[in-house]
Amino acid sequence: MEKTTRRLPIVERDEWLHPVEEQMNRRVERYTQKLAAIERSSGSLVDYANGYRYFGWQWDDALDGWWLREWLPGAHDVYVFGDFNNWQRTEIRMHKDAAGVWSAFFPAAMYRDRLRHGSLYKIHVHGDNGWMDRIPAYATRVVQDEATKNYTAQFWNPAQPFDWRGDAFDASAVGSLLIYEAHVGMAQEKEGVGTYREFTEKILPTIKKEGYNAVQLMAIAEHPYYGSFGYHVSSFFAPTSRCGTPEELKELIRQHFNHPSICVWGLFNELLEFGDNPVEYIKELNELAHQEDTTRPTTSASNQMGDLNFITDAIAWNRYDGWYGGTPADLGRWLDGMHRDHPEIRIAISEYGAGASIYHQQDSLVKSVPNSWWHPENWQTYYHIENWKAISARPYIWGSFVWNMFDFGAAHRTEGDRPGINDKGLVTFDRKVRKDAFYFYKANWNKEEPVLYLAGKRNTVRSRRLQTITAFTNQPGAELFVNGKSYGKAMPDQYAILEWKNVELQPGENEIKVVSINKKVKLMDSFRCKL
């Protein structure tokens, strides 16, 4: 009898995943195997995650000294070495217990003057593949030698521990949440990597000045290749040293604790309820967050249904209707159904977006295939228009977040116009070109700076004689001219969109131009295309 396997629920719900079902099954199988291994060794995923309280450098008051612990069950021999012993690899041997934990104790009486704040160290491991130098998994600070590019763990024990407590903050006074997502290292105009301190002093004031009241920081954990944007984490417990010291990161947080930069506490992103179900753990975190800070609500970002969505004060969903599956119209139907069935919960959209290349242009509106090499710009524009219509028309939505402002590096991506790029940005990777969708939002959201922008101007070779010309504006209206001939004046709809249908192009080169009808503000935009 032929063996049958039950289709994964996510594959069952989304026909766009059917062609990659085999790969999805392999990933789930690998996850299940890894989870089972973790549970066998640590008891639960929660206990495994709390390992930082035991592993790494831990002070022992009773013995007056430091323990260094590392879990290496497959190792035959392990030594720790660093500048505190003149880098002698096999001088300080670590000892293994029955659970595969290797440890070494450093009494303060012997190492007080040698194991100092900032000391560098590694471990020397003998395994089945021979002897290798490694950085401990629980290192809280990792630095790179600029000359050799060699990474080394660093003992971090400042004389004055950082005080995390700040002044009281009333989130209720903030109003609507407007989130700015930023990468500390890439947020500045200078060449090179920005620091935590520079971000605190230069970028945060600018973000606040522009009207944002919340900041989401990307790629904080240490990653060996900077171009990966932080996706390839090497040290999960070490804030990246490229941006400065842990104290500077803490300084950033403390300095703005009393500002609207933090309005909510986010407890999770896209957790799953199968395997080691995190529901009870999230309940504990939610209670703890309210105990520690009575002024700020809690929230989370979800991409599935389940009990997880009913724990925090508010909930947000990552939705890509019209990109990874379905159509943009699905978002409105889903929101209305969710609000109807669960009027008690506060709903937001924490991610929505679609990929686009400025080099991919088409006359007709044809849906993109996400994992393909063809991401036409006009589909991204259509996607954002329709998704924003659905979001803005529903007053019960407490917030929304466009993913993403800029194209960014993603080493695993093989799509769009080149590999290694997530092209969902409203602006290109080099920050030089703003896509059409950018100006759609600018016309809708910027009420101070006059905007008049022609969409589709990069589509310079067209195949259809009759065209629909679209523009975005926050002005009273505009007049369209094609080859000097007026096609009349148009008023923007409630979404700042102007449209002229059945515009006739002549064979050869055509000039498309729009002029604002506001006599006080002179605005014009144009482009040329060939038929």
Q: How many residues does the chain have?
A: 531
Which positions are annotated as active-site residues? Answer: 270
CA dist 199 and 218 (Å) reads 13
* Confidence at residue 447, expressed as pLDDT on a 0 to 100 scale: 86
Domain annotation covers residue 97:
yes
Mean pLDDT of 24-42: 90
Please indicate, yes or no, whether residues 241 and 344 belong to a single structural domain of this protein: yes
**Pick from 180, 198, 181: which is nearest to 242 by CA?**
198
How far is residue 47 from each of residues 38, 286, 305, 398, measured CA to CA in Å?
9, 18, 25, 35
* Confidence at residue 251, expressed as pLDDT on a 0 to 100 scale: 65
Mean pLDDT of 47-67: 92
pLDDT at 12 over 90: no
Model confidence band, residue 110 (pLDDT cutoffs 50, 70, 90): very high
Please indicate, yes or no, whether residues 379 and 518 belong to a single structural domain of this protein: no
In 10 A of CB 54, how many CB atoms? 14
Pairing of strands 315-318, 408-409: unpaired
**Pick from 275, 371, 276: which is nearest to 29 by CA?**
275
Please indicate, yes or no, whether residues 57 and 104 belong to a single structural domain of this protein: yes
pLDDT, greater one: 162 or 297: 297
Mean pLDDT value across the chain = 88
In the numeric block, the tokens 């508010």 are attached to 314
Please indicate, yes or no, whether residues 223 and 245 belong to a single structural domain of this protein: yes
Please indicate, yes or no, whether residues 439 and 471 belong to a single structural domain of this protein: no
Overall pTM surpassing 0.75 (yes/no): no
pLDDT at 378 over 90: yes
Share of the chain above pLDDT 70, in %: 92
Model confidence band, residue 2 (pLDDT cutoffs 50, 70, 90): very low
Mean pLDDT of 316-325: 95
Please indicate, yes or no, whether residues 135 and 205 belong to a single structural domain of this protein: no
* Confidence at residue 3, expressed as pLDDT on a 0 to 100 scale: 47
Question: In this structure, are residues 349 and 316 in contact, taking their beta carbons and an 8 Å threshold?
Answer: yes
Domain annotation covers residue 159:
no
Please indicate, yes or no, whether residues 258 and 331 belong to a single structural domain of this protein: yes
Q: Domain containing 69 — which CATH number? A: 2.60.40.10
Domain final residue, candidates 100, 129, 154: 154
* Confidence at residue 164, expressed as pLDDT on a 0 to 100 scale: 64
Share of the chain above pLDDT 90, in %: 58
CA dist 19 and 16 (Å) reads 7
* Confidence at residue 262, expressed as pLDDT on a 0 to 100 scale: 77
Q: Domain containing 259 — which CATH number? A: 3.20.20.80
Please indicate, yes or no, whether residues 320 and 399 belong to a single structural domain of this protein: yes
Domain annotation covers residue 500:
yes
The tokens describing 28, both together, are 């789930």
Please indicate, yes or no, whether residues 409 and 460 belong to a single structural domain of this protein: no
Least confident range of 132-146, 203-217, 418-432, 517-531? 203-217
Please indicate, yes or no, whether residues 184 and 296 belong to a single structural domain of this protein: yes
How far is residue 174 from each of residues 171, 261, 338, 448, measured CA to CA in Å?
5, 10, 26, 21
Cβ burial of 189 (10 Å; 0-12, 13-18, 19+) is exposed
Domain annotation covers residue 201:
yes
Residues whose CB is less than 8 angstroms from the CB of residue 531 and which lie 6 or more positions away in sequence, other chains included: 462, 463, 465, 505, 506, 507, 508, 510
pLDDT at 225 over 90: no
Least confident range of 36-50, 222-236, 472-486? 222-236
Model confidence band, residue 428 (pLDDT cutoffs 50, 70, 90): very high
Mean pLDDT of 418-440: 95
Domain annotation covers residue 160:
no
* Confidence at residue 1, expressed as pLDDT on a 0 to 100 scale: 41
Please indicate, yes or no, whether residues 417 and 462 belong to a single structural domain of this protein: no
Domain final residue, candidates 416, 445, 474: 445
Q: Which domain holds residue 369?
A: 171-445
CA dist 344 and 346 (Å) reads 7
* Confidence at residue 285, expressed as pLDDT on a 0 to 100 scale: 80
422 bridge partner residues: 408
**Number of separate domains in the chain:** 4
Q: What is the phi/psi pair of residue 392, to 5°?
A: -70, -25
CA dist 470 and 448 (Å) reads 22
Domain annotation covers residue 300:
yes
Domain annotation covers residue 519:
yes
Model confidence band, residue 144 (pLDDT cutoffs 50, 70, 90): confident
Mean pLDDT of 96-122: 93
* Confidence at residue 227, expressed as pLDDT on a 0 to 100 scale: 64
Please indicate, yes or no, whether residues 121 and 188 belong to a single structural domain of this protein: no
Mean pLDDT of 258-265: 71
pLDDT, greater one: 9 or 255: 9
CA dist 7 and 493 (Å) reads 44
pLDDT at 161 over 80: no
* Confidence at residue 318, expressed as pLDDT on a 0 to 100 scale: 95
Mean pLDDT of 185-194: 78
Domain annotation covers residue 164:
no
* Confidence at residue 261, expressed as pLDDT on a 0 to 100 scale: 64
Domain final residue, candidates 123, 154, 185: 154
